[in-house]
Amino acid sequence: MSILIGRETRLVVQGITGREGEFHSLAMQAYGTNIVAGMTPGKGGQTALEGTVPVFDTVAEAVAQTGANASCIFVPAGGAPDAVLEAVAAGIKTVFCITEGIPVLDMIPVVEEVRLAGARLIGPNCPGATSPGRAKVGIIPGSIHREGRVGVVSRSGTLTYEAVQAMTDAGLGQSTCIGIGGDPVIGTQFLDVLQLFRDDPETEALVLIGEIGGAAEEEAAAWAAEHMADIPKVAFIAGRTAPEGKRMGHAGAIISGGAGTAASKVTALEAAGFKVAGSPTELPSLLRAAGFRG
């Protein structure tokens, strides 16, 4: 079993005919993801991915004709909020928005609309998700993964890749790896993913990769202390040397008024039973120290 994506995923890629959309769609398809449709306004009736995938003018048409049940969005920032809403209006329940640079005020009503529709948005500004051996959606390299039982959730893209590669090299496979995105307003938080991992019988350990800014890590830690006390849990927090008031990388990675510091997050995680690494490469040894054998 996996969370959010798997062999049952029937993916429509919004923006499949663009440079980024095509490049990453080919990689997803090569990994084994079932891409059933593409969507680009004005290019309906064409095909993509070397003639293997039909392209539609609207997501509604794609869903009606192919049974698509998930979407991955490679649409420029100006059109990405509407792309999310179009996918949800067409009945898609799992939407990954890879696009970065979307204004915060544009995303606030979108996140609420998605919630009211009973759908799930991952992102924006996220790398997507991989269920090793089953499917990958987004831009995470498929080659770094190994099938296993460690659930990985992260705000960072590249730190996710480093952590997953370290685990794979150490012989520790992953059940599902999810990048939730580094913007201040995102559709899925750490807490949401932890709840999914808690209910997944194939996830027996947890890796959480956070960074400065906000309180999402602290909230997830408090929940995990109560509901995931019996599974090995490790974490890494990026930005320990970041100065207050200066954005570091992601739009949401900023310490404001003394809140959202790396120290506060590490303290909360350790109090909740997480072993906190000093670098992503330490995560495999900490998992084993926490009792996980893989």
Which one is catalytic: 24, 145, 227, 250?
250
- Tokens matching residue 166: 């370290």
Q: Is the pLDDT assigned to residue 253 strictly greater than 50?
A: no
Tell me if residue 250 is catalytic.
Answer: yes
Q: Which domains does the chain have, with CATH numbers?
A: 11-122 (3.40.50.720), 141-289 (3.40.50.261)
Task: Report the 10 Å Cβ neighbour count for 43.
Answer: 15
Q: Could you read off the pLDDT of 186-199 as tens digits, one per residue? A: 999 999 999 999 99
Q: Could you read off the pLDDT of 89-117 as tens digits, one per residue? A: 999 999 999 999 999 999 999 999 999 99
Q: Could you read off the pLDDT of 210-243 as tens digits, one per residue? A: 988 788 999 999 999 999 999 999 999 986 655 5
Cβ within 8 Å of residue 28, ≥6 positions away: 11, 13, 35, 72, 135, 136, 137, 138
pTM of the model: 0.93
Q: Examine residue 132 and say whether the peptide bond preceding it is cis (omega within 30 degrees of 0).
A: no
Rounded Cα distance, 259 and 215, in Å: 8
- Tokens matching residue 150: 């460690």
